[in-house]
Amino acid sequence: MLYAAMCLLKLFLAEGVASYERYRLLKLYAEDQEMVNEIENLLSLPTFSELDVWNGPRPGRMNGTVSVPPTLYPALKKQLVARDIPFTVAVHSLKDLLDAAVLQSGSARRRTLPQGFISFDRYLTYQQIEDYLLTLSKRCSICYLTHIGRSFEGRNIYMIRIGRESKLAQDGIWIDAGIHAREWASISTALYIIHQFYELHESEEWVQTMLSSYDFYIVPLVNPDGYEFTRTTDRMWRKSRSHTGWDDGQSCIGVDLNRNFDYYFGGRGSSNNPCSNFYTGPSAFSEPETRVLASQIEKVRQRLRVYLALHTYGQLWIIPYGHTYRRPADYLDMVRLANATCVAQSSVFNKSYIPVSSYEFYLAAGTAKDWAKGAMGIKYSYTLELRDLGDYHFLMPPSEIEDTGMEMWSSLSALVEYMRDLKDG
């Protein structure tokens, strides 16, 4: 088994996978919100626009994590020392983490998965995801698959509505995943939810109750181009793969799709530098992926009661808004729902999930959740950061896929129960 995994690793490297050799992974520490703001201001300087910020620090819970190319490390280190920002070099070469992740996933990837089937012992390819959804649409009486559009490179983007009747009649809950290419666990979790509905809708009374209360609209893979690119070439790729512009004579590819929504577009936490991981794109909804997502949400906005955007990592339910330090007027309502779901999610495997305001994680304008709440009027709109707290970062091993899915399924069940109680109250 080890020999086979080593062969897979050599094959990946031979095909030109980005190695990230000598890229350092820095942990940044903040004791209070003032230090969080200082770190955010530093990392937003144009000098550091090409740093890869994995997450911001959360005092008492999680350190900030930044991937630093060798060319930027001396300047960043100097600034951190000058500003008295505590930091450590957690990993001296990111290549070591990526190599370990390939070895962890090697054995499952070698086992053949029949066409149209799903397995939660591995991360699926785009083609396997598409085959599964198409097969499910033929077998599942509560599953209504819609081809909603194509990505920049022409891959299909699907939405599956899970509900009792073909006629759209009742309130809805929207879930999407995979808007950031490297966040594989968000995609597998969305697929897990879909599969649970398929497996349990005839035998479990509570699942039948969920379906009698809400329709579930799920887009399991918003950014298929970026996702496939992470599988073949650059595991740490975040953006789409559109050809967006030029920066200092260098062609830079891709847009951060979660900065491309038309709600305070171009504000704090985003960048107009095409080479930045937070590049907004030339204009709001400039990208085919965000346009098709927004178009579908707009069609059913009057029925949507909840919007959930699945991401990794941090184990957080993030409450709007990301462009400002001000909380929405109904903030306490949103906290109450998030508390109920976090309790359920945390209890499955004793992993701590908590609600936070967006600015406590990091400022980010033009995001899907903010647009869903601020522009579409969907009261309960959240970003969900799934596992973990930084042990694996974006490289969660396949052995944790099913457990993460189980946590989210428990959380979704609690959400429906909470919303039903609101209706009855």
pLDDT tens-place string over residues 60-107: 777 889 999 999 999 999 999 999 999 999 999 999 989 888 877 665
Query: What percentage of the chain carries pLDDT values higher than 70?
Result: 92
Question: Do 331 and 404 reside in the same domain of the chain?
Answer: yes
pLDDT at 5 over 60: no
pLDDT value of residue 352: 96
CATH of the domain at 27: 3.30.70.340
Question: Do 181 and 41 reside in the same domain of the chain?
Answer: no
pLDDT at 305 over 50: yes
pLDDT value of residue 138: 94
Q: Is residue 238, in this structure, part of any structural domain at all? A: no
User: How many angstroms separate the CA atoms of 90 and 24, rounded?
Assistant: 8
417 is catalytic: no
pLDDT at 2 over 50: no
Question: Do 35 and 163 reside in the same domain of the chain?
Answer: no
Query: What distances in angstroms separate CA 167 from CA 52, 143, 163, 267, 410, one per listed residue?
Result: 45, 12, 9, 39, 27
pLDDT digits (tens, 9 = 90+) for 362-384: 789 999 999 999 999 999 999 99
Q: Is residue 99, in this structure, part of any structural domain at all? A: no
Question: How many domains does the chain fold into?
Answer: 2
Question: Do 131 and 70 reside in the same domain of the chain?
Answer: no
pLDDT digits (tens, 9 = 90+) for 194-217: 999 999 999 999 999 999 999 999
Question: Do 79 and 130 reside in the same domain of the chain?
Answer: no
Question: Do 177 and 299 reside in the same domain of the chain?
Answer: yes
Boundary-marking domain end, from 92, 124, 143: 92
Question: Do 123 and 82 reside in the same domain of the chain?
Answer: no
Q: Give strand pairing partners of 174.
A: 217, 307
pLDDT value of residue 12: 41
pLDDT value of residue 37: 84
pLDDT value of residue 254: 95
pLDDT digits (tens, 9 = 90+) for 94-133: 999 898 888 776 655 557 889 999 999 999 999 999 999 9
pLDDT digits (tens, 9 = 90+) for 382-413: 999 999 998 899 999 999 999 999 999 999 99
Question: Do 216 and 81 reside in the same domain of the chain?
Answer: no
Question: Do 31 and 128 reside in the same domain of the chain?
Answer: no
Which three-class secondary structure state does DSSP give residue 41? helix
The one-letter amino acid code at 152 reads F
pLDDT value of residue 408: 98
pLDDT value of residue 301: 96
pLDDT at 9 over 60: no
Q: Is residue 406, in this structure, part of any structural domain at all? A: yes
CATH of the domain at 133: 3.40.630.10
pLDDT value of residue 166: 62
Average pLDDT of span 207-231: 97
User: How many angstroms separate the CA atoms of 68 and 52, rounded?
Assistant: 7
User: How many angstroms separate the CA atoms of 196 and 304, rounded?
Assistant: 21
Q: Is residue 271, in this structure, part of any structural domain at all? A: no
Q: Is residue 59, in this structure, part of any structural domain at all? A: yes
Question: Do 157 and 211 reside in the same domain of the chain?
Answer: yes
pLDDT: which is higher, 196 or 44: 196
The residue segments making up the domain with residue 156 are 114-230+285-424
pLDDT value of residue 18: 81
Average pLDDT of span 180-201: 98
pLDDT grade for 275, boundaries at 50, 70 and 90: confident
pLDDT digits (tens, 9 = 90+) for 239-271: 999 987 655 555 789 999 999 999 999 998 899
Q: Is residue 119, in this structure, part of any structural domain at all? A: yes
Average pLDDT of span 24-40: 89
The one-letter amino acid code at 281 reads G
Can you spell out the DSSP letters for 213-228? H-EEEEES-S-HHHHH
Question: Do 118 and 186 reside in the same domain of the chain?
Answer: yes
pLDDT value of residue 423: 81
Question: Do 317 and 223 reside in the same domain of the chain?
Answer: yes
Q: Is residue 280, in this structure, part of any structural domain at all? A: no
pLDDT at 168 over 70: no
pLDDT at 298 over 50: yes
Helices (H) and strands (E) in the chain, counts: 13, 14
Q: Is residue 129, in this structure, part of any structural domain at all? A: yes
Question: Rounded mean pLDDT of the chain?
Answer: 90
pLDDT value of residue 13: 39
pLDDT digits (tens, 9 = 90+) for 306-350: 999 999 999 999 999 999 989 999 999 999 999 999 999 999 999
| Among 130, 289, 360, 385, the one annotated catalytic | 385
Which stretches of 220-329 are assigned E, i.e. beta strand?
243-247, 250-253, 304-312, 316-319
Query: What distances in angstroms separate CA 370 from CA 29, 71, 111, 289, 411, one per listed residue?
Result: 27, 35, 41, 17, 21
